[in-house]
Every structure is written in C-alpha cells, then in structure tokens.
Amino acid sequence: MNKFLPFLILAIILTLIPPVGSSANTTAIQLGSDVLFNQFHHLIEGKKVGLITNQTGQNSQMVSTIDMLRRDRSVHLTALYAPEHGLDGKTVAGKQVTSFVHPVYAIPVYGLSGSTRKPTPEMLKDIDILLVDLQDIGSRTYTYISTLQYAMTAAKEQGKEVMVLDRPNPLGGTIVEGPVVELPYRSFIGVDTLPLAHGMTIGELALFFNRTIGVDLTVIPMQGYTRNMIYQQTGLAWIPSSPHIPNLTSVFGYMATGLGEGTPIRQGDHFTWIGAEGLDSHKYADLLNGSLLPGVIFIPENKGTAGGVRLQINDPNQFNPAKTGIYALAYAKQLQSFPLPKSTSMQISMFDKVMGTNKIGLLLEQGKSPQEIISSYEADLKKFVELRQKYLIYGDEPFIPMQPIQQKQPKQPEQPKPSKPAKPETPAPPKPGNHNGTTNQTKKPEPATKPIPQTPKSSEKIAYLTFDDGPSPVTPRVLDTLKTYQVKATFFIVGREVAGHEAILKRIVAEGHALGGHSYSHNYQLLYKNMDGFFADLEKGSQMIEKAIGVKPTVFRYPGGSTNTVSLKYQDPTRYNKQHTVMQAIKAEAKQRGYTFIDWNVTNGDARSNKYTAAQALANIKQQVKSQKEIVVLMHDSSTKSPTAEALPEIISYLKEKGYRFEVIQADRPTVSNVK
C-alpha cells in the first residue's frame, strides 16, 4: 500500500489545481485576466511575456496570473516585476523592493519601488509584451497606478507593447473627488493630473495615461462590470493589497483618514481611525456627524492621549472617502491649531504631494471651512471629469467585451484647446452610460457595450459566420469548434429557446461571439399577420435575451429574411395586399425605430430540410462563395441541425484557405447584408 501512497497524493493535488482557461465562475463579473484567457488568448500566443503583478494578480477563481502563464505552453514568461510592497505584498511601505531570481520559477523578479521605479532597458530586453495585473484601491496616491504609468513610459521608450488586465475600482466609478494634481507637484504619488479619487479602473487609467505617452497599449476589459459597482457587489474575494490594506474597510477609509501626511493628524488601525494628540474626541465627532456626510458615522474614541474618531461606514455606496478626508482635516484644524508643512523651491512637502497642490495647506492655515476648501477645486475637478470622459470603458449596463481595447498611435497633446477639440484617441473605448461624479454629465449616454468599429481594408476578405434558431444542445458543439479554430461568429437567438439554455448564451458572450435577436416565437403566422404583432414578438425575444445576459441585442434577423414571400401568406388581408405588404410596413417601421437587420448572401442550405448531410452543407457553401470579398454565411444551430455542427470544421478550413478572416456582426459596422 505504501508504494502507491505518493501517486495517490499526486492525484489529489492535481484535482485541486484548476486548469488553464475558463472554469466555473460564481462571481458577478469576470476580470481582465479571465477574459484574456477565455476570449483573447491569441494576443499573447508565441510571445515572451513580462508581468507586473503581486499577490492580488489572481483571476476570479483565485488562480494567479503567474501560474496561468507558466502552465501555458504557447507563451514564455520571462520576467516578473513587483510594485511597492513586493511580489507577496508584505514589504512595509517605504522599504525598497529588491530584485532577485525567483527560486521556483528561475526567472528574474525586478523590484519597481525605491531607487528603481521605472523599468530599465536591461529589465525589458527579454520581453515582447509587458502585462500588468494589479489591484488598485481607487486613490491617486496609491503607488500601483504610478508603477503602471512609469512602466508604460519605459515600454514606449524601448518599443515594447503593454497589456493591462482590467480590475474593479473598489470604490466604484461614480465618486470623483479632491484637488487635481498641478504640474509642479507631480510625484510618485501623483504622476498625472488626477484628483484624489479618480473613479477609474486601472484599465481606464492606462488609456488616460496613454494620451501623453503613446505606447502600443491593449486593455483587456472586464465582463459584467458596471460603472457604479463597488467591490462588494462584484462577488470577488478581497485579497489584501498591502500590509495596511487587509480588508475593504481599510480601502474605503484610506483617503478618509490618511491625508494628514506631515501634520499631527494621523490614521490608525489600518485607516479606520483618525485623530491627533490632545484632540477632543467628542467635539471632533460632533463636528463630523453634524456635517451629515453620507454613508458614515463617526464614533469618538481616544487612543492613549490622542483623541479622534472611528469611522463606521454604514453605506459604502454613498460614502465619499476623499470628501470625508477633507472634512476630517478641516475640522481637526478648527479644533487644534497646528502648522502645515510648506513646500520650497528645493523640496515639495509630503502634504503637498498628497494634495497635488499647495493651495489646500494655505486654505487650512487660513481656517477655511471644508465647504470652502472643496469649492476651491471644483473648477479643476470639472475639467478633469470632462477630460476623462473619452477614456472610460464602462457604463450603467453590464459590459460585454466584444474585442480588446487598443491604442496604437503617436503621442498626443495633453490638453486639447477649447476652440479646437482634439479628436478622440483611435480606436477609443466605448463611451459609458450615465455618470454620477461630482459634476453632472449632460451628454446623452451611449450603450456601455458599443463595440469599436473597424473598417475593413478594401483588399481584405471577411466572413461573418451566423447561426439562427438556437440555443440548443447543438450550440455547444458549434462553440467548441469555433474555440478550437479561434473563430468568432454571430448567433441569432429565438427567445422561446432561451429558458434552460441561459448558460449557453453566457458562454457565447464570454467567448467573444455576438448575439442578435430572431423573434420570440419564430412563428410566421403570428409574426407576419401585422406590424404590431411582429414588433411585440421581437421585443419579447429581446427581453428574454436581456434577462439571460443583461444586455439587449443590437442586431436582428427577420425569420425568413427581409425579402421573404412567405409573409404574404399570413398577412392580414383587411390591412395589407400585394401592393402594400406587411413586410413593407415592418421594414418602414424598423427603419423608424433604428433597428439593424441582417440578411445573408451565402447559405449552407440547412434551412430547407432536416434531412441533409455535412457533405451537402459544405458543398453548398463552396458553390456560393466564389470570389466575393465579404460573405455573411447563414447556418442554423437548432436541435435538428447536427450535420451543420459536423460540417463546421471543414467550412472554417475552406474559408481560411480562400483567404477569409472572421468577424462578428456589429450594429455600427456596415456589411453587405445590412437592411435598415
């Protein structure tokens, strides 16, 4: 028995190790690292990868990105880079993170804290692409985003690509607050013109930083994330990001209690207490509670001879950490006179570095109220909110990644002139929905999932594979083939088939395919009796799709196609005739409503009968493709269409041999078969 024991132990260990790629996910979102391996893995295949990460770099299933890359035989992990606090997140603040050769991985680990904050040419020489997977906490002074900016600058200088795997802003994306960094006060805790609370994810920050850097940048967005989502709503476990940020309470208290650098005002208990020697705890609590700051109650509490308050955050959705921090400083100064650190021409004080300006210190010295201090930076904050708008990825609807967000362009001016607004970065991320920062947005929101259109080159040959009438048990077979061949397709969904197949729809979206509507009933007698009945049925189908994946489809296909004649058989004779048909009425109304309907110009013939073979399906396509530069291929994935799934590998191989690349259909990308 003893000789089998080692093998038994090994078998148990292997069952505990998640495989590379996707796995069961119970979280509300998928992180950028999940989306990279599930949808966009081809972007790193065959490349030498350097990874900036630490203990927070884990996917939604708690598997580290380091391990995901090391198990992946198609890439070569050649170097690791550690931000402040080191690769394990345990190095105390202020202590330099050293470089070393990893004892297990046998690759260099370069420290990017202390004397070497920006990767040197030597550190980047053995990589093709620099990946970044770090969990930020939503504060401009937290140095992980500074490491990102320094690394992007170094990568630009050395001609390397940068890819950022996006993660949530734990505070959400609607709180934008605090003084904005002024140029003379830039530092490692203020690398760009950001306020204290920027309300951006690390991916959005990368896009923002890149307006003045111009590196070859790719952001892999999250799936299911919304602008107003705080970390508690993501379903993700919090991994301590540094020694003093062990939990989400510390994350939310960081700016509220930690702005007093260089003053007697200090934080305690991992940013959950703020006070000073000799401060009257009860008067301090009364002032702060009397301000009616949302989401928080202040409990008077002494620490030895120091008086202060403990923050009891009862509604993190409403809590504004940066504004609370300004109030805490201003009221402490009212209760206790203390000097403010002054910057000189030779040295910027740490207090002014935290604030990004010397103005806050001067206003505090003058005894200004917190309301007056906040009013002093509102104009600059409004400019920032307007500037950041085009770099935002997420809106009010759960985001569905259709393609990575890429910026491949030369350096742009930092600030556009008011009279001649700068053109958006291209390709720019989709504009988000409504925002609720300190400045109201009056611009009409656009859908969060709006894809980035790519205009095909005239010499390109493009194939749009489409599948109608699913989902069904045939659909996973189709998806398996598409994944094997790394091809994307568009699925036109019948609403009545959604119930019980929600997981299939989620898989379709998660693997980078597109979804379209195809009515609820697919019953010609109901659909084509009259115009009102058609749109009621279509809308019901869209609602079923939205209920399953959180997003309504933006493209649709008419059952039978836009030029069908079968509708003549079912149209109401009291309302329509051969000169004025129901299809004419439907198409006119569809144009008014802004629907984008998609036809086809190639079919495998599986709509004509359920008695067909895979060979016949392939032959039909070969006969029709000819020399067309753009084809929309109609196929079906309903339960009776197994030969279509069987034929798909050969169909894909044939089209690849003919020089076609594969795309998904998008509402704002014209194809040869759009009908509006």
Which residues are part of the catalytic machinery? 468, 636
SS3 call for 427: coil
**Closest C-alpha to 319, from 209, 502, 174, 479:** 174
- Going by DSSP bridges, is the β-strand pair 217-220/405-407 parallel, antiparallel, or unpaired? antiparallel
Under a CB-based contact definition with an 8 Å cutoff, are residues 285 and 270 in contact? no
Question: CA dist 601 to 517, 524, 608, 673, Å?
Answer: 19, 22, 16, 7
Contacts of 629 (CB under 8 A, 6+ apart): 460, 461, 462
Under a CB-based contact definition with an 8 Å cutoff, are residues 51 and 81 in contact? yes
Under a CB-based contact definition with an 8 Å cutoff, are residues 591 and 667 in contact? no
The pair of three-digit structure tokens given for residue 196, joined into one six-digit string: 């204290």
Q: Which residues of 141-178 are buried (b: 16+ CB within 10 A; e: fewer)?
A: bbbbbbbbbbbbbbbbebebbbbbbbbbbbbbbbbbbb
Query: φ, ψ for residue 245 (rounded to 5)?
Result: -125, 70
Task: Cis check for the bond before 119: say yes or no (omega within 30 of 0).
Answer: no
Please, what is the angle between helix 474-485 and helix 642-657, to 10°? 20
The Cα 36–Cα 221 span in angstroms is 9
Question: CA dist 23 to 292, 522, 565, Å?
Answer: 45, 33, 46
The pair of three-digit structure tokens given for residue 305, joined into one six-digit string: 């001879």
Under a CB-based contact definition with an 8 Å cutoff, are residues 430 and 448 in contact? yes
Contacts of 421 (CB under 8 A, 6+ apart): none
Under a CB-based contact definition with an 8 Å cutoff, are residues 173 and 228 in contact? yes
Is the sign of the CA dihedral 481, 482, 487, 493 positive or negative? positive
The Cα 482–Cα 488 span in angstroms is 6
Contacts of 604 (CB under 8 A, 6+ apart): 617, 618, 620, 621, 633, 634, 635, 644, 647, 651
The pair of three-digit structure tokens given for residue 332, joined into one six-digit string: 């402490």
The Cα 382–Cα 384 span in angstroms is 5
The Cα 552–Cα 566 span in angstroms is 28
The Cα 475–Cα 329 span in angstroms is 59
The Cα 292–Cα 273 span in angstroms is 18
Give first-to-last CA distance, the chain, whole Å. Answer: 72
The Cα 501–Cα 479 span in angstroms is 14
